[in-house]
Amino acid sequence: MNIATLVGGVASLSWLIVIGLVALVVARAARGRPIKNAATLIIITAALAIVFSSASAGVVFISPEERGVVISAVAPKGYREAPLTPGLNWVIPFAETVVRYPISKQTYTMSIAPNEGQVAGDDSIYARTADGQQVMVDASVIFSIDPTQVVRVHIAWQDRYADGLVRAQSRGIIRDVISQYSIEQVNTSKRTEMTNIIRGIMAEKLKENGLFLDDYILRNIAFSEEYAASVEQKQIAEQQAQQAKFVVEQKKQEAEQARQIAQGRADAVVIESKGDAQARLISAEAEAKSLDLIASALRDKPELLNYQYITKLSPNIQTMLLPSNAPFLLPVPELINQGVTTTP
């Protein structure tokens, strides 16, 4: 409770006491039991009530989040040029009154939702793009009154600054800026740029009228049903195109995989064939070397051939009979050396 409120309470109580005294004096007089010096008591109490009422009318307490504009019957212009600042202030009782204005941040919302904005029902901003498409914009403007411009705001707008200035300016600026962009730009690439332009223009307009723009929020952009349907169809077509592209890529990958498998199999066959050929070559070379060794050994010791022949005969053979006209299959060195001849 501040001093101004306290003084006002005392003044109200004083007047209640005056009224009570008057009622009591009248009641006692009607019963023939008048109160001594009643008139004097009433006058003194009334005088105190007047003093407290005057003091209450002259004492004004301004809180930190507000400023006061003094409307004066004695000032040349009808108002004080300087606003009342926070704290206890004095004005001329009954000759000056104070109009309070908040300087804290305020939000004005325009929305399509019925109970979301300052105006009931659909209060979104209808605008047309450069290519003639209609869009509905939801926006919030956060603003505050310049403490040094409170008197100016009062003279120009009084308490109509929210609806008459902030609402009207923001709706007009949003429509003008959106009309410079195509529907595709509003929806995608230029949305941030558009928001920044709106914020800059709005800040300048509010400043010219004694307000600060703290922030501008582009809450939502809605499109007509026709455009929304076309966008949906476009998205579906793009998704189908992406799906078809994915299928093509998948088929390419499968074909490449099959080609690589076939190439692998062909390479394996080639490698296997080369291996077989190499193995046969090695075997042939080994066999040739073996035959060379055998031929060399036979040249040095021809009897080895007879020995190999005899060892291959059955162990039970003791005598061999040959036809009279058949020569020995193999030369027998001992017989040759001994001059043995065969007879038929």
Q: State residue 135 phi and psi, 5-degree precision.
A: -130, 155
The C-alpha atoms of residue 48 and residue 10 are separated, in whole angstroms, by 10
User: How many CB atoms are located within 10 Å of the residue 217 CB?
Assistant: 14
Angle in degrees, 0-180, between the axes of helices 168-178 and 191-208, rounded to the nearest 10: 140
**Residue whose token pair is 């411009």:** 149
The C-alpha atoms of residue 323 and residue 326 are separated, in whole angstroms, by 5
pLDDT value at residue 263:
82
Question: What would the two tokens of residue 198 be?
Answer: 């709106």
pLDDT value at residue 229:
63
pLDDT value at residue 344:
45
Host H or E run for residue 178: helix 168-178
Q: State residue 308 phi and psi, 5-degree precision.
A: -65, -35
Beta strands in the chain (DSSP E): 59-62, 66-72, 87-90, 96-102, 106-110, 125-128, 134-145, 211-223
Residue pair 210/149 in contact by the 8 Å Cβ criterion: yes
pLDDT value at residue 217:
92
The C-alpha atoms of residue 126 and residue 147 are separated, in whole angstroms, by 33
Q: Is 164 helix (H, G, I), strand (E, B) or coil?
A: helix
pLDDT value at residue 343:
43
Query: 65: which residues sit within 8 A by CB, 6+ positions away?
Result: 102, 103, 104
pLDDT value at residue 256:
82
CATH 3.30.479.30 boundaries in the chain: 106-223
Assign domain 106-223 to a CATH class. alpha beta
**Residue whose token pair is 């004004």:** 60
pLDDT value at residue 12:
80
Per-residue pLDDT in tens (0 to 9) along the chain, 344 residues: 566 677 677 778 877 887 887 887 788 777 777 777 777 877 888 888 788 777 777 788 899 999 999 999 888 889 999 999 998 888 888 888 999 999 999 999 999 888 888 787 888 999 999 988 889 999 999 999 999 999 999 999 999 999 999 999 999 999 999 999 988 888 877 888 999 999 999 999 999 999 999 999 998 888 877 766 666 566 656 667 777 787 778 878 887 887 888 787 877 777 877 777 787 878 777 777 777 777 776 677 766 666 666 666 656 665 555 555 555 555 555 544 444 444 44
